[in-house]
Amino acid sequence: MRRRRWAVVAGVLALVLAIPVVIASWPVDPAPALTPAQLRDRVTASADVPWSGYAEASGGLNLPDVAQFSDVTTLLSGTSRLRVFYAAPDTSRVDQLYPTGERSRYVLPTGQAVWDYGAQLLTYVRRDPTVRLPRPDDLPPPQLARRLLSGTAPDDALTPLPARRLAGVDAAGFRVTVADPRTSVGALDVWADPASGLPVAVEVRTKDAAGRLAAGPVVVSTMLELEQAGPDPSLFVPRAGPGAGVTRSPTSDLFGVLGRGSPSSVPDRIDGVGRERPQRGFAAIGQYGTSLSQLVVVPLPPDLATSLLANIGRAGSASRTIAVSAPSAALGRAGSAQAGALQSPLLQLAIVRVGGRAWAVGGLVPDAVLDRAVTDVARSAR
């Protein structure tokens, strides 16, 4: 009697435990079957697929918190919970969910709006530069996959990956192995719905100086809930709650603020790569190259650079000093030149100060490329 009843309990327990196991091991059969190249092309062309869903993105960069860049460092060093409503490239809403709050970014044909529950503030943003710091709405798998794939070369090696079921989608996968030695990105693993091309998971792997791929991914973005249909248009109306403030801002990006100066405030060429034509209104942002190895240089106010360098100096093992020499032609406090970098396997960010001028230099590049870029930037000071 007693044994039989406990057997019933064991049966119930086994049944409950089996449910997630069975769901996880249900065979995955992506249809239609595509070659990796066909799938990649569908992914790059998927910007018009409307969808809404929930994704989680986690970064393992372990960057320390550095004052003005804390949004970026926390974004790439922790897990972001993202709820997304996406109708078109110029109509979307990404809510970053916190345990007791929320921060939403609306991208609308008329501009952008940012709702911050913590600050109780709705900010209408006129526009951000195309070259800008990473933000939460870059991280959902479709956005991340398309942005990163646009920086790969058409002849980068493609290999198929085993299919996975994610957010109810039987997703086919492929890996792009990035051949460019000037970038720290080693490979991009993308899983996408073969029917629509909508990516449902992205994993980014780094490579070391010898070109060997890292064992595990450094950035992972996974869709956990997905509906491929046009979201209700009423979701795209930014609303400020009662009692909350509303304000306007020309730009919401730090580079957008720093990049308003003269086009001649950054060098024409660094590490042998010429400067892209600057965007109107953000003439002082220097963009070098358009692939994943792209470098970005923005001028900094010298006092900000000094405080950033002090912050970086305190960051311990994640920081590095780069030796730079002030050019003899530098006026003012001649000979005072300083450079420091926040380093991670994927993203590098350096601050250079020469006399009374300073810059931030960043990119998904290895140490050697950053060092050469920093040297070139320091040399341009005169």
Partner 1 sequence: MIVVELRKLFRRPRTWVTIGLLCLLPAIVAAFLASTRIAPPPGQGAAFLSAVLQSGSLYPAAALALVLPIFLPVAVAVVAGDAVAGESGAGTLRYLLVRPVRRTALLGAKLVSVIVFVVVTVAAVAGSSYVVGVALFGAGDPVAVVNAIPQISGPGGGGSGDAGSSGSAGSSGTANGPAAAAPAAPGASPPASGTPGTGSTTTSDPTEARDRAQDSVSSLSGAPLSPGDLALRLLGAMGYITISMLGVGAIALFLSTVTASSLGATLGALAALITSQVLVTLDAAASVTPYLPTRYWLAWIDFFRDPIFLRDIRAGVLVQLAYVVVLMAAAWANFTTKDVGA
- 79, burial (CB in 10 Å: exposed 0-12, middle 13-18, buried 19+): exposed
Q: Which stretch binds partner 1 (CB under 8 A): 243-251, 272-280, 308-316, 344-352?
A: 243-251
b/e sequence 236-247, b meaning 16+ C-beta within 10 Å: bebeeeeeeeee
Site for partner 1 in 104-143 (CB under 8 A): 104, 115, 117-122, 124
CB of 24 to partner 1, least distance (A): 12
Question: Residue 74 in contact with residue 59, Cβ under 8 Å?
Answer: no
- Taking CB under 8 A as the criterion, the residue among 47, 161, 240, 318 binding partner 1 is 240
Check residue 227 for interaction with partner 1 (CB under 8 A).
no
22 binds partner 1 (CB under 8 A): no
Query: Cβ 74 to partner 1, closest distance in Å?
Result: 14
Q: Residue 27 interacts with partner 1 (CB under 8 A)?
A: no
Encoded tokens for 275: 């400067």
We find the least distance from the C-beta atom of residue 98 to partner 1, in angstroms, to be: 6
Residues 320, 326, 332, CA angle at the centre, nearest 5°? 120
Q: In the block, which residue shows the tokens 């358009």? A: 290
Interface map 71-110 toward partner 1 (x if CB under 8 A): ------------x-----------x-xxxxxx-x------
Q: Which is nearer to partner 1, 85 or 255 (CB)?
A: 85
Among the listed residues 35, 159, 247, 264, the single contact to partner 1 using CB under 8 A: 247
With CB under 8 A as the contact rule, the residue among 246, 310, 323, 334 that binds partner 1 is 246
Count of residues engaged in binding partner 1, rule: CB under 8 A: 42
For the chain, where are the alpha helices, taking DSSP H only? 2-25, 36-44, 70-77, 141-149, 254-258, 302-313, 367-379
CB of 3 to partner 1, least distance (A): 9
Interacting residue with partner 1 among 248, 269, 314, 382 (CB under 8 A) = 248
Q: 370's torsion region: left (phi>0), alpha (psi -120 to 50) or beta?
A: alpha
Per DSSP, helices labelled H in 211-280 are: 254-258
Q: What is the arrangement of strands in the sheet containing 169-177, beginning at the earlier edge strand?
A: 157-166, 169-177, 185-192, 199-206, 219-227, 51-59, 79-88, 91-98, 101-108, 111-116, 121-125, 245-249
Among 158, 244, 283, 304, binds partner 1 (CB under 8 A): 244
Q: What share of the chain is helix, strand, coil (3-state, %, to 5)?
A: 25, 35, 40
Dist. CA 127–CA 371, nearest whole Å: 32
What number of other Cβ atoms are within 10 A of residue 216's Cβ?
10
382 lines the binding site for partner 1 (CB under 8 A): no
Return d(Cα 321, Cα 350) in angstroms, integer.
9
CB of 172 to partner 1, least distance (A): 24
Give the C-alpha separation, 286 to 360, whole Å: 10
User: Which of 370, 364, 371, 366 lies closest to 347, judged by CA?
Assistant: 364
Give the residue, chosen from 162, 243, 274, 316, that forms a contact with partner 1 under the rule CB under 8 A.
Answer: 243
Binding status of residue 21 toward partner 1 by CB under 8 A: no
Please report how close the Cβ of residue 4 comes to partner 1 at its closest, in angstroms: 9
Tell the smallest beta-carbon distance from residue 52 to partner 1 (Å).
10
Question: Reduced to 3 states, what is the DSSP secondary structure of residue 288?
Answer: strand
Closest alpha carbon to 248 in 126, 132, 90: 126
Residue 319 CB, shortest distance to partner 1, in Å, is: 24
Shortest Cβ distance from residue 11 to partner 1 (Å)?
9
CB of 103 or CB of 147, closer to partner 1:
103
Burial bucket for residue 362 (CB in 10 Å: 0-12, 13-18, 19+): buried
Q: Is 189 in the site for partner 1 (CB under 8 A)?
A: no
In whole angstroms, how close is the CB of 151 to partner 1 at the nearest point? 30
Nearer to partner 1, 208 or 232 (CB): 232
Binding status of residue 5 toward partner 1 by CB under 8 A: yes
* List of residues contacting partner 1 (CB under 8 A): 1-2, 5-6, 8-9, 12-13, 16, 20, 54, 83, 95, 97-102, 104, 115, 117-122, 124, 224-225, 235, 238-248
